């Protein structure tokens, strides 16, 4: 299968690299010239829990270079998904399928609208990865990938992509309830990610601190209430237990929102907590804790994205500061 990876950060590079290694024809689109040059010169390097590999393939900054593809993986940050779709819209006219693989709620629907195509799939992943150098990704954790589509006519392609990813070594399953899958992942992200971003703590450190664990529980409960009001069928009957279990199982992980803060980048808080707050307001549901963490992360984000270099980092908030700022106690 001819595959394009649109948005090759850590996750895009990991999926693109392993798919290429399994024999698929992959072109990696990279937004930054250092990555493009490194990959074209020496190949993509994968390190970490999946072993060490150097994989030669083409990287380019120009979407116009791609004239044909069977599948485009959109693995950008959620806030860049629409622009990524616009850049690849010429392929939609040729019958290409698009797989949106990222955090957040509703991005696949926006992508389908921009493309003017229903050939859009959606996936979530629990894989962990970090970009550790230009052209180098370190796999930090192995987890399940769940894949489906809001458009029933795409089910055959869903199964084909699932089989292809399994052949590449991913733990992947298809789902006919992709909305529930996305919301279940979002509930976990709403509980854990902002707390990690604010405190600078790993998932395990958050889990092991009772006060932070209690905040995660309350954030999960708020988000689950919104999902319930929308009639979303979650993939777990106990969202709190699921979120805490995820934090414990991924104890060494530095979540993606914290990674963004550490790299002085914009976070995905708008597509995660921000989208939950927006939907809650439409439903007349109060989400005071979610609104507090949203405001704190946005304030932190606005400061770190002004830094000229990554060494100029703000110190993380203490547990006392986070608890006091969120709960008002």
What CATH number is associated with residue 156? 3.40.50.720
- Closest by alpha carbon to 287, among 300, 271, 274? 274
Domain boundary among 176, 208, 226: 176
Coil, strand or helix at 295? helix
Q: Is the pLDDT reported for residue 179 higher than 60?
A: yes
- What pLDDT was estimated at residue 231? 97
Judgement on whether residues 204 and 303 belong to the same structural domain of the protein: yes
* Run of H or E residues at 72: strand 71-74
Instruction: Mark whether 20 and 31 lie in a shared domain.
Output: yes
Helix (H) or strand (E) holding 55: strand 53-55
What residues contact residue 53 under an 8 Å CB cut-off, 6+ apart? 17, 21, 45, 46
Same domain, 295 and 255: yes
**Do residues 135 and 10 share a domain?**
yes
Cα dist from 262 to 90, 303, 316, whole Å:
35, 12, 10
Q: Which residues pair with 60 in a beta bridge?
A: 29
**Are residues 126 and 194 located together in one domain of the fold?**
no
Are residue 57 and residue 206 in the same domain, yes or no?
no
Instruction: Return d(Cα 239, Cα 203) in angstroms, integer.
Output: 16
Length of the chain: 329
Asked whether residue 240 falls in the same domain as residue 132, the answer is: no
Q: Which structure tokens are listed for 286? A: 């109060």
Output the six-digit token pair for 44.
Answer: 């993509």
183 pLDDT higher than 80: yes
- Alpha-carbon distance values, 50 to 75, 117, 191, 259 (Å): 20, 35, 28, 20
Residue 329's pLDDT is: 57
Q: Once rounded to an integer, what is the mean pLDDT over residues 149-163?
A: 97
Instruction: Label residue 128 exposed, middle or buried (CB < 10 Å: 0-12, 13-18, 19+).
Output: buried
**Residues 135, 11: one domain?**
yes
**How many domains, the chain?**
2
Same domain, residue pair 151 and 241: no
Residues 26 and 156 in one domain: yes
The alpha helices in 93-238, defined as continuous H runs, are: 107-115, 155-167, 178-199, 203-208, 210-229
Q: Tell which residue, 160, 187, 185, has the closest CA to residue 174.
A: 160
Note the pTM of the prediction, 2 decimals: 0.92
Based on the fold, state whether residues 9 and 128 are members of the same structural domain: yes
Domain end marker among 128, 158, 176: 176
Q: For residues 152 and 52, give the distance between their C-alpha atoms in angstroms, rounded to a whole number.
A: 38
Which domain range does residue 171 map to? 2-176
* Gap between the Cα atoms of 19 and 25, Å rounded: 8
Helices (H) and strands (E) in the chain, counts: 14, 12
99, containing H or E segment: strand 97-101
| Catalytic residue from among 2, 47, 77, 185 | 185
Take residue 97 and report the two structure tokens written for it.
């399928």
For residue 188, pLDDT over 80 is answered with yes
Residue 254 or 123, more confident: 123
Q: Looking at the structure, do residues 282 and 169 belong to the same domain, yes or no? A: no
Domain's final residue, options 176, 205, 226: 176
Percentages helix, strand, coil for the chain, rounded to the nearest 5?
50, 15, 30
Whether 189 has a pLDDT exceeding 70, the answer reads yes
pLDDT at position 313: 64
Residue 185 annotated as catalytic: yes
Q: Which of 53, 3, 15, 12 is nearest to 31 (CA)?
A: 12
Q: What digits encode the pLDDT tens for the residues 52-89?
A: 999 998 888 888 888 899 999 999 999 999 999 999 99
Q: Please give the pLDDT value at position 253.
A: 85
Residue 243: CATH number of its domain: 1.10.1040.10
Question: Rounded to 5 degrees, what are φ and ψ at 58?
Answer: -85, 135
């Amino acid at each position: 299968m001819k595959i394009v990876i649109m948005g090759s950060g850590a996750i895009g590079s990991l999926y693109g690299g392993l798919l290429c290694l399994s024999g698929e024809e992959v072109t990696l689109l990279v937004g930054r010239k250092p990555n493009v040059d490194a990959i074209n010169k020496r190949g993509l390097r994968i390190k970490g829990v999946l072993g060490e590999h150097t994989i030669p393939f083409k990287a380019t900054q120009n979407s116009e270079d791609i004239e044909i593809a069977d599948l485009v993986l959109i693995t950008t940050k959620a806030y860049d998904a629409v622009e990524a779709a616009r850049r690849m819209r010429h392929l939609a006219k040729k019958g290409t399928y698009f797989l949106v693989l990222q955090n957040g709620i509703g991005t696949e629907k926006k992508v389908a609208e921009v493309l003017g195509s229903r050939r859009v799939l959606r996936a979530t992943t629990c894989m962990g990865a970090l970009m550790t150098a230009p052209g180098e990704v370190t796999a930090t954790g192995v987890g399940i990938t769940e894949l489906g589509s809001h458009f029933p006519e795409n089910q055959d392609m869903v199964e084909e992509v699932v089989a292809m990813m399994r052949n590449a070594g991913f733990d992947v399953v298809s789902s006919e309830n992709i909305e529930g899958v996305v919301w279940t992942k979002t509930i976990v992200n709403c509980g854990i990610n902002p707390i990690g971003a604010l405190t600078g703590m790993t998932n395990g450190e958050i889990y092991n601190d009772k006060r932070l664990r209690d905040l995660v529980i309350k954030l999960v409960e708020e988000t689950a209430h919104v999902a319930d009001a929308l009639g979303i069928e979650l993939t777990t009957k106990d969202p709190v237990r699921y979120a805490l279990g995820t934090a414990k199982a991924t104890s060494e992980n530095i979540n993606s929102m914290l990674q963004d803060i550490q790299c002085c980048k914009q976070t995905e808080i708008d597509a995660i907590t921000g989208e939950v707050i927006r939907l809650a307001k439409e439903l007349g549901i109060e989400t005071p804790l979610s609104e507090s963490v949203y405001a704190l992360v946005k304030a932190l984000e606005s400061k770190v994205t002004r830094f000229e270099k990554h060494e100029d980092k703000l110190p993380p908030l203490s547990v006392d500061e986070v608890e006091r700022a969120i709960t008002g106690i």
